[in-house]
């Protein structure tokens, strides 16, 4: 254990590793702070860069981008009243009124401190939980893994977007895309139409770049892009650290919100936005002055910012212990892990313990970078917020092409990225959520391979899927998630119907 | 277009996709041999059938629900359900053209041409300083960072090769 930990220090504290984590944190902060340009885009673009790095710096780069992006969303939320990322939407409610009241510096400083607290707290919970979950998961066979992936997948489809049907359609589309190419078990070409380029299938990384970056570029280039233009004049801000008294007065709130964030993050398909709104609601309910919420109460910044950063540790629990990514950002981290030979799951801790501990240290380093960068470089982000979105979109376009090309040095990947990106833009416009597509693509091959392996092991007998209690439990949970989501949608519809009838009368 | 009409068109297109997909799967992928081998066909076939069932469900929901009075727009939604076909089509052409130019002329020539074109056509920028500054500056910055500092190969042209 100690030996692995010392090795991990050696891996994480190299100049390249520290620089990569710092670069990721900076890029994440910048992308996170620009409304419309999410850190998922930054992650998709950072992934090809990570190929040339060793495992720990590469994953550090990706996690730095993820963590920086999650924290950076608060900058525009507080200063402009526009959340840089969906997870910062709840921060607007009290963060922007604080700016209007002349307390922008305190809001920014507090947001950074509580973000780091939430992140480190969730990391500790994650380290303990990952070990426990892995010990349980080590006994899983193909049938159990199939059931587990099916459960994770149904949760993602059920909880993403506003319509269960559209969420499931999105997931099935992702699964279908991943069946294109050479079948891994029998070597049979599937839906390749005789094209040599399609034999390798649709590259996951190319698809990720297309799915997340191209819709942003199209929207930025559209004439009547509705996002408000960044005002030229912005308060000359610098973050002001909150007093110890303020921090200690809210320490229990921070711990409670960290637990909410970590718990929500551990459920696939939920994410930062849900966690931050739940934490905000929780803070308001238990506040001594609930009437001041929405008017610039500091607790309204502390709660969502602690929770959304605590999500980062939570999402890593199913990712590292079971190989199930909870959101698109962790799906990209998963791709990064696999490229560097770190296959998540119980075996990861036996085969690559040093690298895993190195990743834990990288998370701490990322938070240190975020803290330093945001406290010292806030003026840079304010300048970045002044750059027109269209110009940033041109830069993103070039980075997308570099990213797609560098994966296999193939122009075919650039064409695929363009086609997938435009299709994603249309899908988003018709309210099909993108997250289940990407997770369908990530989990699809595992789902199919584990089912086929289980069937081969049982020589075609399906009882392998109902004799194991673990499998049955996962199937019941999957059915429950879908059933409950469907029921809540039906209830919401009947309520709307009743409202319409009353207003007609 | 109202959300209901959009869902109807979407449901119909997805149903068509599901039918074509399922037919192609049955026609081109061989089935398994049995005795535990379910074959390469089973999963694509199941996914096609699932998509068909879900599209039908979407269509049934649209037909059964009351007609809406106004388009479904959500101020918090980043895209508001409006599809900008022209910029989307232009991007598709521009990125594909960029890919072709990368193969033939290489990164150093293709990038300024594409950036210049995008800024001139999509963004309607007419300032020569901004157009040339951005296209040359961005190309140079990317070339230095990716090719020279990170060692990522950025394509040399098959027709023109200036490294």
What is the number of structural domains in chain A? Answer: 1
Residue B77 in domain = no
Residue B90 in domain = yes
Please indicate, yes or no, whether residues B56 and B18 belong to a single structural domain of this protein.
yes
Residue A164 in domain = yes
What is the number of structural domains in chain B? Answer: 2
Residue A220 in domain = yes
Residue B75 in domain = no
Q: Which ranges of A80-163 would DSSP assign to H, the alpha helix?
A: 89-100, 104-137, 142-159
Residue A505 in domain = no
**Contact: B88, A399; criterion CB under 8 Å:** no
Q: Return d(Cα A24, Cα A369) in angstroms, integer.
A: 9
Q: What is the pLDDT of residue A368?
A: 94
Please provide residue A325's backbone torsions phi and psi, each rounded to the nearest 5 degrees: -80, 140
Number of residues in chain A: 505
Q: What is the pLDDT of residue A113?
A: 92
What would the pLDDT profile of A257-303 be if each residue is shown by its tens digit?
999 999 888 887 667 788 888 899 889 888 888 888 888 899 999 99
What mean pLDDT do residues A193-214 have? 86
Residue A34 in domain = yes
Q: What is the pLDDT of residue B39?
A: 87
Q: How many CB pairs lie under 8 A apart between chains A and B?
A: 189
Please provide residue B106's backbone torsions phi and psi, each rounded to the nearest 5 degrees: 90, 165
Q: What is the pLDDT of residue B70?
A: 47
Q: Please count the other Cβ atoms lying within 10 Å of the Cβ belonging to residue A426.
A: 16
Residue B107 in domain = yes
Closest by Cβ to B35, choosing from A172, A429, A459: A459
Mean pLDDT, rounded, of chain A: 85
pLDDT range class, residue A504, cuts 50, 70, 90? low
Q: Computed from CA positions of residues A342, A347, A353, A356, in that sequence, does the dihedral angle turn out positive or negative?
A: positive
Residue A41 in domain = yes
Indicate whether B94 pLDDT > 90.
Answer: yes
Testing the interface with B: which of A176, A195, A446, A498 to mutate, by most B Cβ within 10 A? A176
Indicate whether A343 pLDDT > 90.
Answer: no
Q: Exposure of A182 by Cβ count < 10 A (0-12 exposed, 13-18 middle, 19+ buried)?
A: middle
Residue B72 in domain = no
Q: What is the pLDDT of residue A287?
A: 86
pLDDT range class, residue B73, cuts 50, 70, 90? very low
Is the distance from CB of A91 to CB of A304 less than 8 angstroms? yes
Ranges A40-54, A91-105, A160-174, A414-428, most confident: A414-428
pLDDT range class, residue B55, cuts 50, 70, 90? very high
Q: The domain containing residue B106 runs over which residues?
A: 85-149
> Which range, of A72-76, A420-424, A492-496, averages the lowest pLDDT?
A492-496
Distance from CA of A313 to the nearest CA of B (A): 27
Residue A410 in domain = yes
Residue B121 in domain = yes
pLDDT range class, residue B61, cuts 50, 70, 90? confident
Q: What is the pLDDT of residue A417?
A: 92
Q: The domain containing residue A418 runs over which residues?
A: 2-500
The answer to whether A497 faces chain B, any CB pair under 8 Å, is: yes
Ranges A42-46, A286-290, A417-421, B77-81, most confident: A417-421
What mean pLDDT do residues A395-403 have? 90
Residue A452 in domain = yes
Q: What is the pLDDT of residue B75?
A: 43
Mean pLDDT, rounded, of chain B: 85
Residue B163 in domain = no
Percent of chain A with pLDDT over 90: 24
Q: What is the ipTM, given to two decimal places?
A: 0.88
In the structure encoding, which two tokens stand for residue A486, read together?
Answer: 């469907």
What would the pLDDT profile of B4-49 be if each residue is shown by its tens digit?
788 888 899 999 999 999 999 999 999 888 777 888 999 999 999 9
Residue A376 in domain = yes
Could you tell me how far CA A41 lies from the centroid of its own chain? Answer: 11
Residues of chain B with Cβ-Cβ distance to A49 below 8 Å are 146, 150, 152
Testing the interface with A: which of B40, B76, B83 to mutate, by most A Cβ within 10 A? B40
């Amino acid at each position: 254990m100690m030996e692995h930990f010392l090795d991990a220090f050696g891996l994480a504290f190299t100049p390249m590793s520290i620089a990569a984590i710092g670069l990721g944190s900076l890029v994440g902060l910048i992308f996170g702070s620009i409304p419309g340009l999410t850190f998922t885009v930054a992650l998709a673009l950072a992934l090809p860069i990570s190929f040339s790095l060793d495992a720990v710096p590469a994953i550090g780069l990706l996690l730095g981008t993820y963590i920086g992006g999650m924290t950076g969303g608060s900058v525009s939320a507080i200063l402009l009243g526009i959340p840089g990322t969906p997870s910062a939407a709840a921060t607007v409610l009290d963060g922007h009124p604080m700016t209007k009241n002349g307390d922008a510096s305190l809001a920014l400083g507090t947001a950074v401190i509580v973000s780091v607290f939430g992140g480190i707290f969730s990391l500790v919970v994650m380290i303990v939980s990952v070990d426990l979950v892995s010990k349980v998961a080590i006994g899983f066979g193909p049938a159990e893994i199939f059931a587990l992936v099916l459960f994770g997948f149904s949760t993602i489809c059920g909880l993403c977007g506003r319509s269960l049907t559209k969420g499931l359609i999105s997931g099935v589309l992702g699964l279908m895309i991943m069946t294109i190419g050479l079948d891994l078990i029998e070597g049979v070409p599937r839906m390749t139409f005789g094209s040599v380029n399609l034999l390798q299938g649709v590259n996951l990384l190319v698809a990720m770049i297309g799915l997340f970056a191209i819709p942003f570029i199209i929207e930025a280039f559209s004439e009547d892009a509705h996002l408000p233009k960044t005002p030229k004049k912005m308060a000359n801000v610098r973050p002001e650290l909150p007093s110890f008294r303020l921090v200690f007065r809210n320490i229990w709130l921070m711990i409670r919100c960290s637990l909410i964030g970590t718990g929500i993050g551990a459920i696939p398909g939920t994410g930062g936005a849900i966690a931050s709104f739940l934490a905000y609601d929780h803070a308001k309910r238990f506040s001594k002055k609930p009437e001041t919420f929405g008017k610039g109460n500091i607790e309204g910044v502390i709660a969502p910012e602690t929770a959304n950063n605590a999500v980062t540790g939570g999402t890593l629990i199913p990712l590292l212990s079971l190989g199930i990514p909870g959101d698109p950002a962790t799906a990209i981290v998963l791709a990064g892990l696999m490229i560097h030979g770190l296959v998540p799951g119980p075996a990861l801790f036996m085969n690559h313990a040093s690298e895993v501990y190195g990743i834990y240290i990288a998370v701490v380093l990322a938070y240190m970078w975020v803290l330093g960068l945001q406290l010292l470089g806030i003026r840079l982000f304010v300048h970045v917020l002044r750059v027109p979105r269209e110009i940033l979109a041109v830069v993103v376009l070039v980075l997308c092409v570099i990213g797609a090309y560098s994966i296999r040095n193939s122009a075919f990947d650039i064409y695929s990225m363009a086609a997938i990106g435009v299709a994603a833009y249309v899908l988003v416009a018709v309210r099909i959520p993108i997250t289940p597509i990407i997770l369908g693509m990530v989990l699809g091959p595992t789902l199919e391979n584990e089912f086929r392996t289980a069937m081969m092991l049982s020589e075609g007998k399906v009882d392998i899927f109902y004799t194991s209690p673990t499998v049955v439990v996962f199937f019941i949970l999957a059915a429950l998630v879908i059933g409950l989501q469907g029921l809540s949608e039906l209830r919401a519809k009947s309520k709307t119907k009743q409202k319409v009838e009353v207003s007609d009368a | 277009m109202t959300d209901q009409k959009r869902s109807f068109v979407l449901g119909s297109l997805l149903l068509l996709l599901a039918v074509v997909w399922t037919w192609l799967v049955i026609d081109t992928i061989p089935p398994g041999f049995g005795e535990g081998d379910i074959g390469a066909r089973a999963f694509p076939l199941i996914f096609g059938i699932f998509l068909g069932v879900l599209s039908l469900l979407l269509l049934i929901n649209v037909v059964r629900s009351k007609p809406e009075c106004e388009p479904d727009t959500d101020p918090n939604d980043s895209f508001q359900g409006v599809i900008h076909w022209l910029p989307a089509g232009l991007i598709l052409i521009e990125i594909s053209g960029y890919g072709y130019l990368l193969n033939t002329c290489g990164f150093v020539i293709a990038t300024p041409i594409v950036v210049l074109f995008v800024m001139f056509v999509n963004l309607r920028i007419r300032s020569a300083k901004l157009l040339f500054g951005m296209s040359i500056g961005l190309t140079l910055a990317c070339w230095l960072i990716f090719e020279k500092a990170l060692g990522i190969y950025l394509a040399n042209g098959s027709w023109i090769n200036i490294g």
